[in-house]
Structures are given as structure tokens and as C-alpha cells.
């Protein structure tokens, strides 16, 4: 059983994420301050989130969580970002000009163009693996499963050879998830995606995170 530190910064439905993690055999402990990293001593950190980019970064800063998250990422320790928690890993967002993101991944989060139709993008969409990168997740995405999405913004990033990535099409094709070493993050919500989401989490925690520790 892996101990998971679930970041609590008042940005997200923590209970649904917690229940999904428990279903795949994780012991979940809330991490609310910098001191909790040492107190909890987690094996994996999960950063969920819904809402605005700028508000989320301010909440993380107020709880002194940005530095320990950056340190965790720099050490390539197992980390999962979900929805807004995926976007926060980038450098900046059009949603909150002037607010710096965590900056683990290079790039900017941008709003869907009006040409895609209804924004926010809300509902079930297929996700496909679009990388030659060797990853335990390739088999999970082999059937192009459907996952639940709710977002108006997405990271505008380029393909990169040493990174695993998946894509979703909603008027345009976007990179809706990336993995790099022990770091994984997704725009969609595995915890709201029924068995497809549980299968993804199970693969992450039983295979990818375990083998890379």
C-alpha cells in the first residue's frame, strides 16, 4: 500500500479523488502545509484542482506549498496532477496574466478558440496515446478510452521525444496528458471516469510509480 499525499489547497473535490485512490489500494493523507511533507512522508504526491489558475497559485503560496512541490518534482519523485493540477505545472496561463505557474513543464496554458464551439469543454471524450515513449500507460490507452473532461483552457505544448503524451480532440487536438519519469499529469478527471479512470490510476500506482521508485 502506497502512502499518497493529497494536496489540499481549497481547489477541488478532494473526496472523489480520495475515494478513487483508495479503490486502487492507496492510503491517502491530506497535505495542507509545507510541514506536512515531512510529517506525512508520502511516497506519491497528488495535486488535484478545479477553478482559476491564479487563485490556485495564490492558495498554494499562502500555504507555503509551492517550494516543496517544486523540490519534489525536481527529484523526479512520483507525482500526479489532475485537471487544474496539470495546468499549474506549466509556466503561465492566459486565464491569469502575470501569475507564474509551478513551471515544471515549459509552455503556456491557453483558452480554447471560439471556433471549437461550446466552451467549457465538458463531457466524455476519447483519449489516445501519441508517443513512441516507452511507458506502462501505452496499453491503458490502446483502446482509445473515454475520460471525463471539464475545462476551458489547455496547455499549448510541443511534442517531445523523451516524454509520453496522450491527446484529446475537441475541435482541435490538444495534449491532454503527459508523463516524464515519475511525473504524470492529465487534463481529464480519472476519478470521474468510472472504470477507465480506475484502470489508469491502477496502472500508475501499481506499475509506473512502483517500477520507477
What CA–CA distance (Å, rounded) separates 131 from 161? Answer: 8
**E-strand spans in 112-171?**
121-129, 146-151, 153-156, 164-170
What CA–CA distance (Å, rounded) separates 190 from 148? Answer: 7
The catalytically annotated residue of 18, 26, 83, 203 is 83
For 5-24, b where at least 16 C-beta lie within 10 A, e where not — what string? Answer: bbbbbebbebeebbebbeeb
156: which residues sit within 8 A by CB, 6+ positions away? 107, 108, 109, 110
The catalytically annotated residue of 167, 180, 189, 203 is 189
- All three cell numbers of 82, joined, read 489532475
- All three cell numbers of 206, joined, read 501499481
Q: Is 189 a catalytic residue?
A: yes
The catalytically annotated residue of 92, 167, 191, 203 is 191
Contact of 155 with 90, CB cutoff 8 Å = yes
What CA–CA distance (Å, rounded) separates 103 from 80? Answer: 15
17: which residues sit within 8 A by CB, 6+ positions away? 6, 46, 48, 82, 191
Contact of 46 with 11, CB cutoff 8 Å = no
Active centre residues (catalytic): 83, 189, 191
Amino acid at each position: 500500500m502506497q502512502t499518497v499525499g493529497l494536496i489540499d489547497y481549497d481547489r477541488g473535490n478532494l473526496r472523489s479523488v480520495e475515494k478513487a485512490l483508495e479503490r486502487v489500494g492507496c492510503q491517502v493523507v491530506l497535505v495542507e502545509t509545507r510541514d506536512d511533507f515531512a510529517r506525512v512522508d508520502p511516497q506519491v504526491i497528488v495535486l488535484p484542482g478545479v477553478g482559476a489558475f491564479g487563485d490556485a497559485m495564490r492558495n498554494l503560496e499562502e500555504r507555503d506549498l509551492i517550494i516543496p512541490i517544486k523540490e519534489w518534482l525536481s527529484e523526479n519523485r512520483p507525482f500526479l496532477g489532475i485537471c487544474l493540477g496539470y495546468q499549474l505545472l506549466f509556466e503561465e496561463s492566459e486565464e491569469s496574466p502575470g501569475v507564474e505557474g509551478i513551471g515544471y513543464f515549459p509552455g503556456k496554458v491557453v483558452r480554447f478558440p471560439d471556433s471549437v464551439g461550446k466552451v467549457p469543454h465538458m463531457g466524455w471524450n476519447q483519449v489516445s496515446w501519441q508517443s513512441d515513449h516507452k511507458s506502462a500507460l501505452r496499453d491503458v490507452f490502446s483502446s482509445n478510452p473515454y475520460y471525463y473532461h471539464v475545462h476551458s483552457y489547455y496547455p499549448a505544448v510541443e511534442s517531445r521525444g523523451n516524454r509520453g503524451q496522450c491527446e484529446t480532440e475537441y475541435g482541435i487536438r490538444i495534449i491532454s496528458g503527459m508523463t516524464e519519469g515519475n511525473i504524470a499529469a492529465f487534463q481529464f478527471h480519472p476519478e470521474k471516469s468510472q472504470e477507465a479512470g480506475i484502470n489508469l490510476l491502477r496502472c500508475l500506482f501499481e506499475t509506473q510509480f512502483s517500477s520507477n521508485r
